[in-house]
Amino acid sequence: MTKFLFVTDLDNTFVGLREEDDKALEELSKYLQEHQKYGTKIVYATGRSPTLYQELKESKKLLKPDALVLAVGTEIYLDGSNKPDSEWAKKLSDGWNRDVVVEIARDFSKLEPQQESEQRPFKVSFFIEEEAAITVIPQLDSEFRRRGLTVKLIYSGGEDLDIIPHDSDKGQAVQFLRQKWQFLPEQTVVCGDSGNDIALFAAGTWGIIVGNARSELLQWHQENVFDYHYRAKRYCAGGILEGLKHFGFL
C-alpha cells in the first residue's frame, strides 16, 4: 500500500450526527487503520481544545491519530503526548501578546467569550452572530493593526471567531508536520467543511470538501477552483470515502 498523509477536520467532516455518518466513519476508520500499518499518518485538525477533543474521542471511539492539531492550528500534539509540541509553540510566540488581544476585544460588545476550555495560550475565542460579524470583524482587525498587532481572525460556522497568531492556522500546522515527516504535497490529503478549514485547502495538497460544507468554505472554493480539490456529494465520512476513491487512494 502507498503511504500518504491524511488530515481531517473532525466536527461535520470526519464525524457527523446521523446514523449513516457513523456507519461511514466505521468504514473509513477500518481503511485508515489498515493503511497506518504501511506508513500512512493520520492527523486530526480541529478547532476543539484538548478538553473537547477528549469528549469527542470517547463518545465516537475515534481511531488513534499520529498527531493532533488542536485549537485551530495553534497546538500540535505528537504520538499521543499530552504536552504541546515545544518547537511549534516557540514559533507562534514571536509577536503574540494575548493580554493585549483580550484587552482590545473587550471593547466590542457584540463579542461573546466562548467557554473557558476554549481560551488557549495562542487562541482567544468568541461567539458572534453572522450579521454583526460583517461589520465587527473588520473594525476589530483595524484596531489590532492600529495597535501594532499582527494577528489572524478566523470566522467559521456562522458564529465562531478565533483570534490567533498571524503565523498559525490549520494549514501552517499541517505544513509543519508534512515537512517533519517528509510527505510531498501529492502524498497529502486534507478534508474539511468550514471556514477554519480554508487554510488546509490553501496549502496545495489534495483536498476533499464534504457534501455538507458550510457557505464560507463553498464560497472560497468557487473563487479558488483547482483540479486537486474535490467537492463530494456525500456528507461527512461518506464524503471523505467518495473523495479518496476519486483521487485513487481507495
**CATH code for the domain in which residue 135 is found:** 3.90.1070.10
Say if residue 77 is in the same domain as residue 191: yes
- Averaged over 200-211, what is the pLDDT? 94
Please give the Cα distance from 21 to 238 (Å, whole number): 7
In a domain, 232, yes or no: yes
Say if residue 118 is in the same domain as residue 221: no
Say if residue 181 is in the same domain as residue 155: no
Q: Which residues contact 184 (CB under 8 A, 6 or more apart)?
A: none
Left (φ > 0), alpha (ψ -120 to 50) or beta: where does 148 sit? left
Three cell numbers, residue 43: 492527523
As for how many domains the chain has, the answer is 2
Using CB atoms within 10 Å of the CB of residue 97, give its burial: 0 to 12 exposed, 13 to 18 middle, 19+ buried.
middle
Q: Report whether pLDDT(66) > 90.
A: yes
Say if residue 198 is in the same domain as residue 101: no
Say if residue 134 is in the same domain as residue 69: no
Q: Report whether pLDDT(246) > 80.
A: yes
Q: Report whether pLDDT(4) > 80.
A: yes
Last residue of a domain, one of 129, 148, 165: 165
Say if residue 78 is in the same domain as residue 108: no
In a domain, 192, yes or no: yes
Structure-model confidence comparison of residues 181 and 157, the more confident one: 181
Q: Report whether pLDDT(203) > 90.
A: no
Residue 173 — pLDDT band, cuts 50, 70, 90? Answer: very high
Residue 204 — pLDDT band, cuts 50, 70, 90? Answer: confident
Q: Report whether pLDDT(109) > 80.
A: yes
In a domain, 213, yes or no: yes
Say if residue 58 is in the same domain as residue 174: yes
Three cell numbers, residue 227: 483540479
Residue range(s) defining the domain that contains residue 136: 95-165
Last residue of a domain, one of 165, 181, 216: 165
Beta bridge partners of 190: 7, 207
Please give the Cα distance from 25 to 27 (Å, whole number): 5
Say if residue 38 is in the same domain as residue 153: no
Say if residue 175 is in the same domain as residue 72: yes
pLDDT of residue 1: 74
- Averaged over 139-146, what is the pLDDT? 96
In a domain, 90, yes or no: no
Say if residue 79 is in the same domain as residue 111: no
Q: Which residue has the cell 500534539?
A: 77
In a domain, 89, yes or no: no
Element at 44 (helix H, strand E): strand 41-45
188-220 core/surface letters (b: 16 or more CB in 10 A; e: else):
bbbbbbbbbbbbbbbbebbbbbbebbbebbeeb
